[in-house]
Amino acid sequence: MKSKYLKNKLERYNFLKKNKFDKILKYIFNNKEVSTKLQYKALYYLKSLDRKNLNTKLVNRCRLTYRSKGVLRKFGMSRLTFKRFASEGNLVGVRKSSW
């Protein structure tokens, strides 16, 4: 359980750190006022970066149980945890729907 938490935290930290650098390189490459030599250097560096920390590789996990499947984005918890908390009345503004 603790290892999943640490792994998830490390992956998100690495993504945020590398995402800033990627944005800078993309800006340099797309900027027309910069010399073409610098643009191609930025492109070469972008292509050589490790693609392990991409946004699509990040896995949403439940904040309480670290379950990876069935996670509700709005609440950041799995559907099972959400159901338990909602039935106990611990989530403000959440009611059982009926129609």
Report the sign of the C-alpha dihedral through residues 19, 24, 30, 36, in that order: negative
pLDDT, one tens digit per residue, over 62-73 is: 888 888 889 998
pLDDT higher than 70, residue 92: yes
Query: Which pair of structure tokens corresponds to residue 15?
Result: 């993504």
pLDDT, one tens digit per residue, over 3-54 is: 877 888 888 888 877 778 888 888 888 888 888 898 888 888 888 776 666 6
- The pLDDT value recorded for residue 29 is 87
- The pLDDT value recorded for residue 95 is 79
Q: pTM of the predicted model, to two decimals?
A: 0.58
Q: What is the 3-state secondary structure (H, E, C) of 16-72?
A: HHHHHHHHHHHHHHHCCCCCHHHHHHHHHHHHHCCHHHCHHHCCCCCCCCCCCCCEE
- The pLDDT value recorded for residue 68 is 86
Helix (H) / strand (E) element for 77: namely strand 77-78
Domain map of the chain by residue range? 1-58, 59-90
